[in-house]
Amino acid sequence: MPSHNLERTNDDIQRVLSAHLREIKDPRVQQGLISVTRVETTGDLRYAKVWLSVLGLENEKEFRKGLKSASGWLRRELASSLSLRYTPELVFELDRSIEYGAHINQMIRDLDIRPDEDET
């Protein structure tokens, strides 16, 4: 279980990255509405896994290439915004939980459930 300081660091990284992801001018990254859903940093602050949820993602492969290209700039902005011993290397993952939830919701709506005769 992460310590309270590490949780606070994760929250700070999430806040800073959320603000700076909107500033990336690379069209490969700006494919839709991007949200940083979670950040997990290792205990030594060397790596941070960042989960992104993208609404309206068109091309995942190009999106990942654009993120990799912008990761150096994002690290630099992170270092200037936060005073950490180490600026973590950013590892990006796509969070598909919102898509999954929408899919399950649609499946439930599509069910053909008739009301019980006792209830009418």
Quickly list DSSP for 1-52: ---HHHHHHHHHHHHHHHHHHTT---TTT-SSEEEEEEEEE-TTSSEEEEEE
In a domain, 118, yes or no: no
Residue 13: how many other CB atoms lie within 10 Å: 24
In a domain, 117, yes or no: no
In a domain, 120, yes or no: no
Q: What pTM did the predictor assign?
A: 0.77
pLDDT in tens, the chain (120 residues): 556 888 999 999 999 999 998 888 888 888 778 889 999 999 888 999 999 988 878 888 999 999 999 999 999 999 999 888 889 999 999 988 877 888 899 899 888 777 777 665
The CATH number linked to 50 is 3.30.300.20
What is the count of structural domains for the chain?
1
Max CA distance (Å), the chain: 67
In a domain, 39, yes or no: yes
Q: Which of 104, 8, 97 is nearest to 54 (CA)?
A: 97
